[in-house]
Homo-oligomer: A and B are copies of this chain.
Amino acid sequence: MRRYASTVVVLLAAAGVLFSAFPAATASDLSVAPNGVTIPKGYRNWQVVAPSQRDDKDEIRVILGNGIAMKAYRAKQLPFPDGAILAKLAWKRVKSAEFDNTFVPGEPQRIEFVVKDAKKYAGTGGWGFGRFVDGKPADEKQHATCWPCHEANVKGHDWVFTRYAR
């Protein structure tokens, strides 16, 4: 009996290891984009690459970078090394009630990440793209629009739009 119990424990532990090593990215898993990109822990505390603003969507944004990305930006290192991650936080642009002609972030619209892994994402410039709205990943159709746009417009900057704002 003791031996049986031990075997069960070992089997359960092995199953646990397997499960965490290969997390399932299914439609029911709300934290993983179709290509495996997840929301990196602590991204809101990352340093700023630059703010940006978009008229047609009436949004204001800020682009942040993890440590690897910021180091590469400051060293003007291209292509970005594996492990570099950029985050784009987008809010509706709203008029400040306290200061004329000034616009500030309103409702959050989405957060997006690009994750550099030259081998894993070889088919999309070495970048994995993840878009999340209310913490949930967008569908495959939306994700399919990311790479063609980066590919068409920013070949000379390792497919990354945002430059470091000095």
Q: Is the CB of A51 within 8 A of B45?
A: no
A104 within 8 A of B: yes
Q: Is the CB of A161 within 8 A of B96?
A: yes
Contact A98-B45, Cβ < 8 Å, known A60-B52, A103-B55, A108-B166: no
Give 7 nearest A-B pairs by CB, closest first: A51-B51, A105-B165, A56-B101, A55-B101, A53-B103, A51-B62, A98-B153
A residues contacting B by CB (< 8 A) are 44-48, 50-57, 60-62, 64, 89, 91, 93, 96, 98-105, 108, 149, 153-154, 161-163, 165-166
**Interchain Cβ contacts under 8 Å between A and B, 29 examples:** A45-B47, A46-B47, A47-B47, A48-B48, A48-B62, A50-B105, A51-B53, A51-B60, A51-B62, A51-B105, A52-B60, A52-B96, A52-B103, A52-B104, A52-B105, A53-B53, A53-B60, A54-B103, A55-B103, A56-B101, A62-B62, A98-B154, A99-B149, A99-B153, A99-B161, A104-B163, A104-B165, A105-B165, A108-B165
